[in-house]
Amino acid sequence: MTVSPAVSLPRPTAGTEPCPDRPNVTELRLSAFAGHRRARFTLGPLTLFTGPSGSGKSRALQAYAALARLGGGVELHEVFPDPPACVPEGARPDAQRRRGFRIGCTADGPEGPVRLDVAVQAEPELRIVGERLTSGDLVLLETALRDPARRTVQAAWHTAGSSPVTRGPLPDDRLGTALLPLRVSGRTDGQRRVLAAAEQMVVALRSVFTCDPSPRRMRAPVPPGAGRLLPGCGNLAEVLLRTRAECGRRHALLTEAVAVGCTGRVVDLLAEPLRDGTVRALVDRGNGVRTPLNLLGDGELRYLALALVLLTGPGVLEVDPVGEVPAALQTLTVLADGLDRGLDRRQARELLRLAVRTSARGHVRLVGAVSDVSRAAEVDGVTVVDLSP
């Protein structure tokens, strides 16, 4: 376990560096967001935020999830339904009654570290008022609000052709970085560098699955669907029906993991259609004994769902696929607030060990928030961000 402070974190320890061919978010910056100011968090393959209630664990994951949605092209009002809640506590409005917040991240990949910083005005109107995409000392994209009466920002992106930059308007309710492929032609080396950096950032941000299993929803039979696991994992039964038929090896690994983390004997995980057209999930105990999932404890259900997420990957999860990038060059990042909620010590330890094994292959990363960091001390390969005062 690597324990790091919340500010000015060191780089991950040797052996935990991301694969350079797969874009990954390796740093989260909350310059001014809710209770965070001038905060920088280094993110390894498996990172846990810890600290007392109210220390900002959930807020850090909220900011990461917000950047991920913006990278996927979601409009600002959908990402921040309550923008004043994101403004730093005690922040005073300026002469125009404006208040806001600033967040950002760094994505490592084939283009090296690429930084994205976004300034959002929360009041009186929600809008992006500034954005900067940089690579080293080179500013690749920069936007600024010039005319508050217009719903656009003035953008300038690196060209390195007959003119050093190209200027044009961009909407103030979307992330400019995600829009660059529609605006930059790629005719010059400078433009191609801008496009490559923007693609690296967008791929890193879009490959995120926010997961918070709800045991109550997981207990009931569900109608058949697309077989893609939802963030609340309420459709786990239909996903098990699919994985058992299509992903035999991964299903076997899931069964082994569940056998370690759940009480009693576990031979297999099953899903069966019912007469009313719904699907229910069961635990096969062997010798003809099958336990419906509604009889399992909350901790067992959360453990099962999180293990399924770690072992299946984006093909079985409700994530925004980056179709133009080969799956071998993508890494799924799982965001899990309250990762250890309802889990006993054994379940939490085994889940972290499973996360370490899956992240070691470079295809899955996990960023979670936990209440009890002592459980991480039993597992090597965990980076802990302690937000305690």
pLDDT per residue as tens digits for the range 195-204: 999 999 999 9
Split at pLDDT 50, 70, 90, the class of 21 is confident
Section 349-376 average pLDDT: 89
Domain parsing of the chain, residue ranges: 2-207, 217-312
Predicted confidence at residue 319, as pLDDT, reads 57
Section 143-156 average pLDDT: 92
Contact between residue 270 and residue 290 where contact means Cβ atoms under 8 Å apart: yes
Predicted confidence at residue 107, as pLDDT, reads 97
Q: What is the C-alpha separation between 310 and 16, in angstroms, rounded?
A: 18
Section 40-49 average pLDDT: 95
DSSP strands (E only) in 213-305:
268-273, 279-286, 289-292
Spatial CA neighbour of 266 closest among 280, 250, 282: 282
Contact between residue 70 and residue 105 where contact means Cβ atoms under 8 Å apart: no
Split at pLDDT 50, 70, 90, the class of 237 is very high
In this structure, which amino acid lies at residue 280? R
Q: Note the pLDDT tens digit of each residue in 243-279.
A: 888 888 889 999 999 999 999 999 999 999 999 999 9
Share of the chain above pLDDT 90, in %: 69
The pair of structure tokens assigned to 184 is 């930059």
Q: Note the pLDDT tens digit of each residue in 287-345.
A: 999 999 999 999 999 999 999 999 886 666 755 555 444 454 568 899 999 999 999 99
Q: What is the C-alpha separation between 101 and 86, in angstroms, rounded?
A: 7
